[in-house]
Amino acid sequence: MAKTKEQIIQEIEEGKTTLGIEYGSTRIKAVLDDSDNNPIAIGTFDWENTFDGTYWTYAESELLNGIQSAYASLKADVAEKYGVTLSKLGAMGISAMMHGYLPLDAEGNLLVPFRTWRNTTTTQAARELSDLFQFHIPERWSVSHIYQAVLNGEEHVSKIDFFTTLAGYAHWKLTGEKVLSVGDASGMFPIDSETKGYDAKMLEKFDALVAEKGVAWKVEDLLPKVLVAGEVAGTLTADGAALLDPAGDLEPGCPLCPPEGDAGTGMIATNSVAQRTGNVSAGTSVFSMVVLEHALKDSTIPEIDLVTTPVGDPVAMVHCNNCTSDINDWVDLLADYSRAMGQPVDKGDIYTTLFNEALTGDKDAGGLVSLPFISGETVMGVQTGYPLFVRRQNANFTIANFMRMNIMAAFGALAAGNEALRDQDVKIDKLYGHGGIFKTPKVAQSLLAAALDAPVTVMATAGEGGAWGQAVAASYMLNKAEGESLADFLNDKVFAGMEGVTLEPDAADVEGYKAFLASFKQANEAEKAAEKSFA
């Protein structure tokens, strides 16, 4: 039963709420939950990555100012809705985009600008490490970044005292603790799901490899300590409270759960941490996560990343760097057209109208094909992205087909990558979708079901995303019963009775998507040619 406004005010004042803050690709979001894990206030801060000619990055000033602004937005939302000042929290957690590279020296100074997951500059390192470990190491993983820095002879390598992910960095600033959830850590270095820690044999191999190149440190001394969901990962320090809330209203001392990656919070936010469940997180990037019931027959397949759930169970991940950015650019163009015509239209209305129009298009998008690769797309063998729109001479070039094409293309690389999962005999009982692309009911959901030929469920909380998932992780740490698993906590205390809509794949949509995917793969050869031509 939903709480009354008076009950919510009492929980805020007594510090019985939990807070999740997540660094997304285009927005930092803060979600405050009541004691029943229902969102009661939201704060946001919009930001954007930049390409400096070599690396995709975010301005260092925004790494901390961004969560400060998101928290200020949340605090203002609380004041407006409930007439009280947010000053006390029951628990909180930080999550962020996984992978990437944030190396710091002994004084805590960032040695190079944040290198995000979006960079594909580590091809040599990823290939050498994959061969060394006989285990697929993606280009975006932190170990690829640090080893590529060694290979490049970068001056900062000898000064590294600690390296981490974005979530780990922000958590360290708030608590002073150099720790990471096992889920996020699995995007830094391979995890042993038996020990719930870094793979000892691979650590030894890596240290021997870099020692041959004159490196004095051992990588295990630089990596964050690994924790699992439910453990206390530190408390909010006075400095951390002042960083979040310069006004000085926020009290220090609340516990923080392990800092998590967006893949892990997506699993929590969709109740997909049990075996044979999966989820698709769609935003700037798109990835699918399937919790495995058995080891893969081949751990070297380049399309599949082996990561873990927030409690350390093995997960097969298909990660694609590009999803909604190209759609957003087209919508911006159409909004600009409306402005130029003297009839400005609300951008939200453009999304809703065009998404619904897509359902009326031809099942295969009428011969239109898009390669929405604003950045490199490893799954498709593309290192540097050049967005392409291709149409056949006799294509049915309508607005419905154009929009249907864009949504289908957003899932194109994911569909291609998931073919490798099917070859590994991976079974999926439930697949959940979450992210902003699913806000317009049924549209992207039905096309994703067609792309993966599997039923897709979208929960009522799908739009809240990972920030809400991390608030739930904080609640699990704070409120779990003795011996209660994360899966049981989610089933019994978070998702029981929650509304969701499940769409089975439509046979005609599936056949249409197969035809589109064949054209998508053919057009990818033009993408590769563009990459060579523009290099």
- In this structure, the answer to whether residues 118 and 233 fall within a common structural domain is yes
More reliable by pLDDT, 498 or 243: 243
Q: What is the pTM of this model?
A: 0.83
Helix (H, G, I), strand (E, B) or coil at 478: helix
- Under a CB-based contact definition with an 8 Å cutoff, are residues 185 and 143 in contact? no
Assess if residue 422 is contained within a domain.
yes
Overall average pLDDT of the 455-481 stretch: 88
Say if residue 461's pLDDT is above 70.
Answer: no
Number of domains in the chain: 3
The answer to whether residue 519 scores a pLDDT higher than 70 is yes
Considering the domain architecture, whether residues 332 and 425 belong to the same structural domain is answered as no
> First vs last Cα of the chain: how many Å apart?
59
Question: Would residue 424 count as lying in a domain?
Answer: yes
pLDDT at position 493, please?
Answer: 93
According to the model, what pLDDT value does residue 497 have?
A: 80
pLDDT of res. 295: 74
Looking at the DSSP bridge assignments, the partners of residue 56 are 51
In this predicted structure, the answer to whether residue 86 has a pLDDT above a threshold of 70 is yes
What type of residue sits at position 528?
K
- Half-sphere exposure of residue 398: CA atoms within 13 angstroms, side-chain side: 14
Q: Give the distance, in angstroms, between the CA of residue 196 and the centroid of all CA atoms in the same chain.
A: 21
CA distances from 127 to 119, 132, 144, 147, 298 (A): 15, 9, 9, 11, 16
Q: Which domain, by its residues, includes 156?
A: 5-80+89-260
- Inform me whether the pLDDT recorded for 462 exceeds 70: no
Q: Average pLDDT of 413-427?
A: 87
pLDDT band for position 31 (cuts 50, 70, 90) = very high
Placement of tokens 């792309």 in the chain? 451
Q: What is the pLDDT of residues 183-234, one digit of tens each?
A: 999 999 999 989 999 999 999 999 999 999 999 999 999 999 999 999 999 9
Looking at the fold, whether 16 and 113 belong to one and the same domain comes out as: yes
The verdict on 435 and 289 lying in the same domain is: yes
| Sign of the dihedral defined by the CA atoms of residues 417, 421, 423, 427, in that order | negative
> 446 with 380, same domain?
no
Smallest CA-to-CA distance from 15 within 92, 88, 91 is with 88
Specify whether 362 is located in the same domain as 451. no
Mean of pLDDT over the chain: 94
Q: Report d(CA 146, CA 150) in Å as an integer.
A: 6
CA 288/CA 364 separation, integer angstroms:
23
Residues 134, 45, single domain; the answer is yes
Tell me how far the alpha carbon of residue 204 is from its chain's centroid: 29
- The answer to whether residue 265 sits within a structural domain is no
What local confidence, expressed as pLDDT, does residue 459 receive?
Answer: 81
The answer to whether the beta carbons of residues 27 and 46 sit under 8 Å apart is yes
Instruction: Return phi, psi of residue 108, to 5°.
Output: 85, 15
Q: Grade residue 386 by pLDDT with cuts at 50, 70 and 90.
A: very high
Residues 183 and 296 in one domain: no
What interhelical angle do 399-410 and 443-452 show, nearest 10? 60
Is residue 13 packed enough to be buried (19+ CB in 10 Å), middle (13-18) or exposed (0-12)? middle
Cβ atoms of 189 and 133 within 8 Å: the answer is: no
pLDDT digits (tens, 9 = 90+) for 132-168: 999 999 999 999 999 999 999 999 999 999 999 999 9
* Among 228, 233, 256, 230, CA closest to 312: 228
User: 174 in a domain, yes or no?
Assistant: yes
- Give the closest residue to 232 by CA, choosing from 508, 531, 476: 476
Confidence of residue 294 (pLDDT cuts 50, 70, 90): confident
The secondary structure element, H or E, covering residue 459 is strand 456-459
Q: Is residue 266 part of a domain?
A: no
- Based on the domain organization, do 316 and 370 belong to the same domain? no
Residue 463 reports pLDDT greater than 90: no
Q: What is the pLDDT of residue 413?
A: 96
CATH of the domain at 233: 3.30.420.40
Same domain, 376 and 491: no
Quickly tell me which residue has 């608590």 as its tokens: 175
- The answer to the question of residue 160 being in a domain is yes
Q: Is residue 231 part of a domain?
A: yes
What's the confidence (pLDDT) of residue 301? 86
Higher pLDDT, 413 or 426: 413
464 pLDDT tier (thresholds 50, 70, 90): low
Domain shared by 24 and 124, yes or no: yes
User: Does 289 lie in the same domain as 406?
Assistant: no
Measured distance CA(73)–CA(81) in Å, rounded: 12
Residue 1: pLDDT band with limits 50, 70, 90:
low
Per the structure block, which two tokens stand in for 170? 């922000």
Position with higher pLDDT, 43 vs 383:
43
CA angle 432, 435, 441 (to 5 degrees): 75
Region 382-392 average pLDDT: 93
Output the pLDDT for position 90.
Answer: 98
Q: Is residue 478 part of a domain?
A: yes
The bridge status of strand 430-434 relative to strand 162-164 is unpaired
